[in-house]
Structure 1
């Protein structure tokens, strides 16, 4: 059995020593790395490891994780504790540790997986290792930078509204139409599933905030997220994309999402917007929120509601924005023609 199971967010931490002397005195910050022993298994019985695979964990296992905050309306709300705790919680499968303060009712029976800190991962100078920009340099956002691609923003009315699937299938539709396509996930909690779906759908290159060492973006200042944005755009330009599909996590009311949508330096970089929703009423609210910001750049509607012909009919009665089911998203040339607005497409 391997001595320590390294989580995905810690994949670039290769040289360290375990400092057990500061477990009660060090106040952890976002990205600080520590080794934990699994005390009891809750709703998360595995971590995504440094290779991106699902690694099951058991009581007594040692795991390397990173402190972070989490906002997930269908999962956990969790924060970095202010002081030492006898037990910590696994709040993100990609390797995020903190303390749960609320959870979706479906998780209440099992609760979070409980952990005991063994020690902090320290470098040769004795400083606690931090994942943020551990292996990459930060790049300041530059609004004047010339960008030779179009951007498509995938947003959702809420968590699990279908925006990731929309973004991934959008990548496939553009790719089958002959375009070079990149995908980035700008905000959220570390987990490889979303970007890997986009990659499997045909995106030429994918990246997300965790590639810059952020375990999550919850509670990050907007300027920090804008620098992450610049770093991710820099990452994917190696593919010389025609389009960059950008996903931001959770729903339109989530605070980092709201901050970005009200930040002119961000919205000015967006050429097109697609909105995913769970139901017809969410579509109406989403359009009301996004239209003043993006106007005609909101080019299509998608998401879970498109699986119901009745909900699609309700939406068609209320608005004229094209509705894209999954087959339409991947149809050759349909999305590209919609984006160019040169062809009238019946949807």
Structure 2
């Protein structure tokens, strides 16, 4: 058996004083988001690799991996939660090393299921306290004031659902800015820890690219509104050191997801947003997503997403929005448009519609 400990991305710098075996944990132990543990891989499921520092680590049954407890909300993959008590088996919910108990699975992963784990021990410090990645960075978190957002122009990248194209939209928007010599940054504000999104934005031209995992969060699912607003302020502080003209902020999943809806219906948060780009997977989600945003008094500056790969879908959206909603000014931008920098720079300073 290979007993080398392979570390997930949130545990790269974790060096525990020792491991506290499950037998030594109190029976009423309640795990918290960010708690660090070492697990034995029992059976490989959906996740065959663990994202560590700079590369993916292949994992096999018998491997020991260091991960953190967290939740996950992914409509096209897994829904999972932190266990309320010690379990005989745990599940790898995300490739970045997020562990919990699976609640539901998208049908395409039902057969293979999650990678199954056994807890070897909780990582503890020299005082015998369980190491928690969120608590280790708590002193770096800034209280939300909104001031950092007003030092730049925030463009919010939203989507109708998971895999609607919002990450690609954000990255190509950044690429278009870079081509025009405009300094921009990228922030992934909510979601589950995995570096692919921020890496894509950086590769396509962002001066700096960061996400919530930098401050120890394995996931933002079920975080409080105050926590997310504080993360927003903190991440903006990070990127504002480079004085970007624009900061593209992506919020994970769809409009009806808990944290997304919470932020979009918060007028204080929305007052810090300069523009919104909305991505959709098809014409129906584009149209009804727009209607939802307008009902929430939010007017996007442009539409994009997977539907823009089809001229027919674009035609359908135009026919409805231009003729039925009288939104003749609403640009629909595909990836080529975004990459060429065809972004409506001059727009209202706030995306909150006037009552």
TM normalised by structure 1 equals: 0.94
Q: CA deviation at 1:148?
A: 2.1
**Residue 174 of structure 1 corresponds to which residue in structure 2?**
177
- The structure 2 residue matched to 1:331, chosen from 312, 337, 340, is 340
TM normalised by structure 2 equals: 0.92
Distance 2:62 2:288 in 1: 48
- The structure 1 residue matched to 2:304, chosen from 296, 302, 305, is 302
5+ long unaligned stretches in structure 2: 322-327, 349-355
Deviation track 1:129-154 (CA, whole Å, cap 9, x = no partner) reads 00115245111101355732101000
5+ long unaligned stretches in structure 1: 343-347
Distance 2:285 2:17 in 1: 48
Matches within 5 A, 1:280-299: 280-296=283-299, 298-299=300-301
The farther-off stretch of 264-273 and 14-23 is: 14-23
- The structure 2 residue matched to 1:152, chosen from 155, 161, 180, is 155
Deviation track 1:208-252 (CA, whole Å, cap 9, x = no partner) reads 000010000000011110011111001111111000000000000
**Residue 312 of structure 1 corresponds to which residue in structure 2?**
314
Change (3 A) 1:248 1:145: closer
Residue 340 (str. 1) matches residue 346 (str. 2): yes
Q: CA deviation at 1:294?
A: 4.9
Deviation track 1:271-294 (CA, whole Å, cap 9, x = no partner) reads 000000001111111111112445
Change (3 A) 1:23 1:92: farther
Distance 1:80 1:212 in 2: 19
**Residue 36 of structure 2 corresponds to which residue in structure 1?**
33
SS at match of 1:173: helix
Q: CA deviation at 1:127?
A: 0.1
**Residue 345 of structure 1 corresponds to which residue in structure 2?**
none
- The structure 2 residue matched to 1:322, chosen from 331, 334, 338, is 331
Deviation track 1:289-338 (CA, whole Å, cap 9, x = no partner) reads 11244544x11000000011110110111123111000000104x21xx1
Aligned length: 337
The farther-off stretch of 92-101 and 6-15 is: 6-15
**Residue 4 of structure 2 corresponds to which residue in structure 1?**
3
Q: Is the 8 A contact 1:37 1:115 kept in 2?
A: yes
Distance 2:313 2:17 in 1: 54
Matches within 5 A, 1:61-100: 61-100=63-102
SS at match of 1:110: coil
Matches within 5 A, 1:3-22: 3-20=4-21, 21-22=23-24
SS at match of 1:187: coil
Residue 161 (str. 1) matches residue 167 (str. 2): no
SS at match of 2:91: strand
Distance 2:20 2:119 in 1: 11
Distance 1:2 1:118 in 2: 11
Distance 1:227 1:22 in 2: 35
Change (3 A) 1:145 1:243: closer
Distance 2:143 2:162 in 1: 29
